[in-house]
Structure 1
Amino acid sequence: MKRIFPALCALLLLTACGPELPPEDSERPQIVAAVFPAYDFARSAAGELADVTLLLPPGAESHSYEPTPADILRVQRCDLFIYLGGESDAWVDTILSAIEPRGDVLRMMDCVDLLEEETVEGMQGGHDHDHEEDHDHLGEVLSMDEHVWTAPRNAAAVTRIIGQRLALLDPENGEAYAAGAEAYALELEELDRDFTAFFDTLPDRTIVFGDRFPLLYFAEAYDLDYYAAFPGCGAQTEPSAATVAFLTKKVREEGLPAVWYIEFSNHLVADGIAEAAGVETAQFHTCHNVSRADLEAGATYLSLMRANLEVLREHM
């Protein structure tokens, strides 16, 4: 976080004619999204009527991202800035307190009902966030889980709100924004029904992740029982022997066909558990970010989640 302050100072040396920045007098609304889900929802609502920029570089890990001076200028100059509002983009608070954004700001965590982050049996690590904190009756600090987009119904709700904000920014094209947002939201709700129909065919909805588990909203939406090595924003990379043994035992006891890992993971933990249990591994793409190849190929939240559904059909 300390490295953000030099970046803010460097803004004083950055001119308005930098090659990567849009002109300040652009007639098209300028939308900046901190993470891929916000980028995808915004471009679906905006269509060709606005310019939508993804701040997080393809393939980057949001928890360790440091905004450049050009990124900070984008946030300051854009007409709508969309960010998550959790631990992974806590740097946004520093920027917004240091600059005067000229446009509107939308926090995705304000768009849906939030869930408290969980530490389930066998999971290593706990709650280390300093955002959206609360305390339970035992005094444990609990954080509100930030991964709201992982449930397609939440994705639909966020998309509709983005459409509403765009309509307020550009009333002349308000109906087009509303129509674009609604069309994508309906596709997301159809995706939700397809996930529901699939999980309804399963007598057992248990899933084991040899990785972080940023899928609490997904698990809640489809009534899944889950076990994982680390919580969704856990910083740990090396699980204890007890955690590995517990998860391996769960895979065997439940007769699970696969151990799961998330995108951009080295999946060494999942590989080790799967090898010990004699099963396969499979990837679930959380859609937090995408590779450059996926971005250039036109990947969307919808396409990635439909691919997840197919992988689930093969490995559950």
Structure 2
Amino acid sequence: MKKIMVGLLVLVLLVGCSPGTQSPASDKTLVITTLFPQYDFARVIGGEEIDLRLLLPPGTEPHQFEPKPQDVASISEADVFLYTGDVMEPWVEGILSSAKPALVKDVSEGVTLLKTREDHDDHDHHEEEHDDHEEGHDDHDEEHGDHEEHAHDHGGVDPHIWTSLENARIMAKNVLDALVEADPAHEELFRSRWEAYDQELLALDEEYISVISELPNKTLLYGGHFAFGYLAERYGLTHRSPYAGYSTNAEPTPVEMAKLIDALKETHSTTLYFEELTDPRVAQAIADETGAQLVLLHGAHNLSPEEAEQGLTYMQIMKDNLDKLRKGLQ
């Protein structure tokens, strides 16, 4: 790890000294984000007044992301660096020991974290155990001393906070606070955009509550690494997945796959949801066994190249997810 960091520092120095390698100077606030949700929140709130960049290239699965030297250089130059928290991005702590953006904001501040399913004996219930934010980060620090050894283990805490609209509102407010601190001259404009967007998030949150409360089937059957713990908790769904936890290295056991097949039959479900940006081979195998229809439930971690080209937004993803839940949980 030390050799890597030395190499990164050398490259940062080279970038700073080489003519023609830096972006043209701009009066706009440079905002670097790690994941798509806060990128999109910053896009809405910051508008044309900021220079906004997303570290993740389109199509990149974020749990497998490793920052490149040029990413470190970009973070070093940032006026604002927005990340999702140490649980989702354990590499950030090491990067910030050398990269020094002007302002760093953990957009998960104020969010109550959930423990993962692997911490429970009963995998059927949506009532996941809660951790307050500070305790969740303490647990993570104890289990993630070396990022290279624990690259994608989330320390027993669910990092996918943005799948709840209630949490998305907290994240968007954190983005607002960071932008205002970095660029107080545009506070009124940023705040007016945030107020309008917050009302949109609130309205969609209320629509989720209304629609899901009326669904006859409230068991969400998912054939991938389950990223919707916060959605299930917020909107009263139970869920089943053959995976325990969120490690991308995890593999489902035959027993867990059999349980999901049984759940499809017991609930008379015809829909099996799967995740974006990964090979849905497990979900496909279960669908082949049961005749269930595979439906993408988008976790909004990142966009595919095609989605990025189309300009897909967080709100569009969440509205589409609600429509798929409405149709699939009958």
Task: Give TM class, smaller chain.
Answer: 0.7 to 0.9
Which residue does 1:28 correspond to in 2?
Answer: 28
Encode CA deviations 1:125-180: one digit per residue, 9 max, x unaligned. Answer: xxxxx95418xxxxxx9633211111011111211221122112211110101111
Give the Å deviation of 1:19.
Answer: 6.4
Evaluate the alpha carbon distance shift between residue 207 and residue 281 of structure 1 in structure 2; reply closer, same or farther with a 3 A threshold: same
In the alignment, is the contact (CA less than 8 A) between 1:4 and 1:67 conserved in 2?
no
Which residue does 1:163 correspond to in 2?
Answer: 176
Which residue does 1:261 correspond to in 2?
Answer: 274
CA distance in 2, matches of 1:313, 1:163: 32
In the alignment, is the contact (CA less than 8 A) between 2:156 and 2:245 conserved in 1?
no
Give the Å deviation of 1:112.
Answer: 1.6
Give the Å deviation of 1:213.
Answer: 0.6
Encode CA deviations 1:296-315: one digit per residue, 9 max, x unaligned. Answer: 21111001111111222222
Evaluate the alpha carbon distance shift between residue 240 and residue 35 of structure 1 in structure 2; reply closer, same or farther with a 3 A threshold: same
Gaps of 5+ in 1: 124-129, 135-140
In the alignment, is the contact (CA less than 8 A) between 2:29 and 2:51 conserved in 1?
yes
Which residue does 1:144 correspond to in 2?
Answer: 157
In the alignment, is the contact (CA less than 8 A) between 1:4 and 1:66 conserved in 2?
no
- Total equivalences in the alignment: 302
Letter in 2 for 1:64: Q
CA distance in 1, matches of 2:242, 2:20: 43
Gaps of 5+ in 2: 125-135, 141-153
Letter in 2 for 1:67: P
Evaluate the alpha carbon distance shift between residue 19 and residue 58 of structure 1 in structure 2; reply closer, same or farther with a 3 A threshold: farther
Which residue does 1:9 correspond to in 2?
Answer: 10
CA distance in 2, matches of 1:16, 1:228: 51
Which residue does 1:117 correspond to in 2?
Answer: 116
In the alignment, is the contact (CA less than 8 A) between 1:85 and 1:109 conserved in 2?
yes
In the alignment, is the contact (CA less than 8 A) between 2:224 and 2:242 conserved in 1?
yes
CA distance in 1, matches of 2:22, 2:88: 24
Evaluate the alpha carbon distance shift between residue 254 and residue 28 of structure 1 in structure 2; reply closer, same or farther with a 3 A threshold: same
Which residue does 1:178 correspond to in 2?
Answer: 191
The CA RMSD over aligned residues, in Å, is: 2.3
Percent identical residues: 32
Letter in 2 for 1:248: I
Letter in 1 for 2:263: K
In the alignment, is the contact (CA less than 8 A) between 2:109 and 2:174 conserved in 1?
no
Give the Å deviation of 1:237.
Answer: 5.2
In the alignment, is the contact (CA less than 8 A) between 1:207 and 1:256 conserved in 2?
no
Q: Look up the SS of the partner of 1:281 in the other structure.
A: strand
Give the Å deviation of 1:63.
Answer: 2.0
The two structures have a TM-score, normalised by structure 2, of 0.84
Give the Å deviation of 1:45.
Answer: 0.6
In the alignment, is the contact (CA less than 8 A) between 1:122 and 1:243 conserved in 2?
no
